[in-house]
Chains A and B, each alone.
Chain A
Amino acid sequence: MKLSYFPGCTLKNHAKNFEDSALCSLKKLGIDVEELDRWNCCGTVFSMTTDDLIHHLAPVRNLIRTKEKNSDKMMTLCAMCYNTIKRSNERVKSDQESLDIINDLMYKEDVKYEGDVEVLHLLEILKNDIKFENIQQKVVKPLKDLKIANYYGCYLVRPKEIGFDDLENPTIMDDLTSILGGQDIDFPYKTECCGAYETVDRTDMVANRTYQILSSAINHGADVVSVSCPLCFFNLDARQKQTQQKFPEFQNIPILYFSQLMAMALGCDEKSMNFNLHYIDPRPLLKEKGFI
């Protein structure tokens, strides 16, 4: 299986821990991925107004890059990229007139987009193509006794056109956690919005959200919270600083990408985890549990 990989803006810097751990895991699972040439930012949010076609150009251009790789499958890691590109794809696939206009606007491209690329998230690939039972066989370091609260956020599950998992009670990350040997912790805030980009000008609002989400995970017994989106990661990890300032009784909890947990269980090098990028250092806990 050859997959084209679209990294997106944040995976190359703030979320290098996400990228490296995901790519190392895929290597351990024997899956070949090839990064797209000349990929561009997807725009991070789906263009929601009916008349705004120009913002679908960036996602569609990346789909053209995928076709240029002779591939019909694009893999994303970031939940926001996944949501934006997949929804733009669905939008142009169901509306030929819009697709024609978009192709016309990109008349300098050698390849026309015809709705013929499938946008996939790594979690979907793990579940449907690689299959969880095959991953289980490759686990060398089970995450024994690690209590993981899986936080899905918004863009991985909503809206329903994304069709990723159950809208109100998604379980794909919990299922993955279980086969890696960890203990999944259910908590009621797993699909509650973290405040997303409000973090730029409303830090206080995000601190409230982080407090609510993480306190709930902690109260349900979690050791770590696992995420799939670099913006959720930032709000839940780095914004713990503001959360602690606002709520002095708040206790810190390490945030990890699901891919880091997987990489750890599959025996990837600690270097691929880039723990230096975390505000709350997960290393003391992981050392204590004997995972690193």
Chain B
Amino acid sequence: MRTNITRQQIHSPFVAKIEELSGQNLLACYQCGKCSAGCPSVDQMDILPNQIIRFAQLGMGQELTESKSIWICASCMTCNVRCPKGIDIAEVIEAIRQIVLRKRKDHVEVKKLTDKEKAEVPPIALISCFRKFTS
């Protein structure tokens, strides 16, 4: 992938917002890749967990907010417990999801779920899905 990086982008409010919402220091990451190696969902992701951190460091907001990966991550926390630098990667991904959701862009549209779909799953599935994927 070819991309242009500018100082302005790196110092953009997007990077500050991610750090604020996640409570993480993005520059602590040295790209060892352990998060992506242990993630059970990488086969479905377009941007891998370690790449998400790199993109976030570089302020590549559009790529992140439009990625599939942020909706594939189910916050299982495997990356968090294995990161040698103690970065909570799942919190960084949550911060990106929140940036999208707080613009009222729901990922799961409740109205589009059929009665059958809603009835077959337990309440715990619906509530957690709506908590994570709707604003």
Smallest CB-CB separation from A213: which chain B residue? Answer: B40
Whether the Cβ atoms of B129 and A201 lie closer than 8 Å is: yes
Q: Which residues on B sit within 8 Å (CB–CB) of A80?
A: 124, 128
Whether the Cβ atoms of B80 and A159 lie closer than 8 Å is: yes
Whether the Cβ atoms of A49 and B128 lie closer than 8 Å is: no
Q: How far is the CA of A191 from the CA of B23 in the complex (A)?
A: 26
Whether the Cβ atoms of B94 and A158 lie closer than 8 Å is: no
Whether the Cβ atoms of A230 and B124 lie closer than 8 Å is: yes
A200 beta carbon closer than 8 Å to chain B = yes
Q: How far is the CA of A234 from the CA of B120 in the complex (A)?
A: 10
Q: Which residues on A sit within 8 Å (CB–CB) of B128?
A: 44-45, 80, 196-197, 231
Whether the Cβ atoms of B21 and A51 lie closer than 8 Å is: yes
Restricting to A164-193, which residues have a CB under 8 Å from any CB of B? 167-168, 191-193
Whether the Cβ atoms of B21 and A50 lie closer than 8 Å is: yes
Q: How far is the CA of A74 from the CA of B20 in the complex (A)?
A: 32
B78 beta carbon closer than 8 Å to chain A = yes
Q: How far is the CA of A240 from the CA of B127 in the complex (A)?
A: 22
Main secondary structure of the interface of A (DSSP, over half): loop
Q: How far is the CA of A8 from the CA of B125 in the complex (A)?
A: 13
Pick from B40, B78, B108: contact of A209, CB under 8 Å: B40
Restricting to B102-135, which residues have a CB under 8 Å from any CB of A? 108, 113, 117, 120-129, 131-133
Whether the Cβ atoms of B124 and A193 lie closer than 8 Å is: no
Given contacts A48-B90, A48-B91, contact A15 B77 (CB under 8 A): no
Smallest CB-CB separation from A212: which chain B residue? Answer: B40
Q: Which residues on B sit within 8 Å (CB–CB) of A13?
A: 122-123
- CB of A84 to closest CB in B, whole Å: 9
Restricting to B19-78, which residues have a CB under 8 Å from any CB of A? 20-23, 40-41, 44, 72, 74-78
Restricting to A48-86, which residues have a CB under 8 Å from any CB of B? 48-52, 55, 78, 80
A111 beta carbon closer than 8 Å to chain B = no
Whether the Cβ atoms of B121 and A49 lie closer than 8 Å is: no
Pick from A15, A43, A51, A205: contact of B122, CB under 8 Å: A15
Whether the Cβ atoms of A43 and B127 lie closer than 8 Å is: yes
Mask: chain A, 117-159; 1 = CB below 8 Å from B; 0 = not: 0000000000000000000000000000000000000100011
Q: How far is the CA of A249 from the CA of B63 in the complex (A)?
A: 39
Mask: chain A, 246-276; 1 = CB below 8 Å from B; 0 = not: 0000000000000000000000000000000
Smallest CB-CB separation from B107: which chain A residue? Answer: A201
Whether the Cβ atoms of B125 and A197 lie closer than 8 Å is: yes
Q: Which residues on A sit within 8 Å (CB–CB) of B120?
A: 238
Smallest CB-CB separation from A160: which chain B residue? Answer: B81
Given contacts A48-B90, A50-B22, A200-B117, contact A9 B127 (CB under 8 A): yes
Q: A43-B131, A45-B75, A201-B133 are in contact. List 18 more A-B contacts (CB 8 A).
A: A9-B124, A13-B123, A14-B123, A45-B128, A45-B131, A45-B132, A49-B95, A50-B20, A50-B22, A158-B78, A168-B81, A195-B74, A196-B125, A197-B125, A200-B121, A205-B41, A234-B122, A238-B120
* Interchain Cβ contacts under 8 Å between A and B, 6 examples: A9-B123, A10-B124, A43-B131, A193-B40, A197-B126, A201-B133
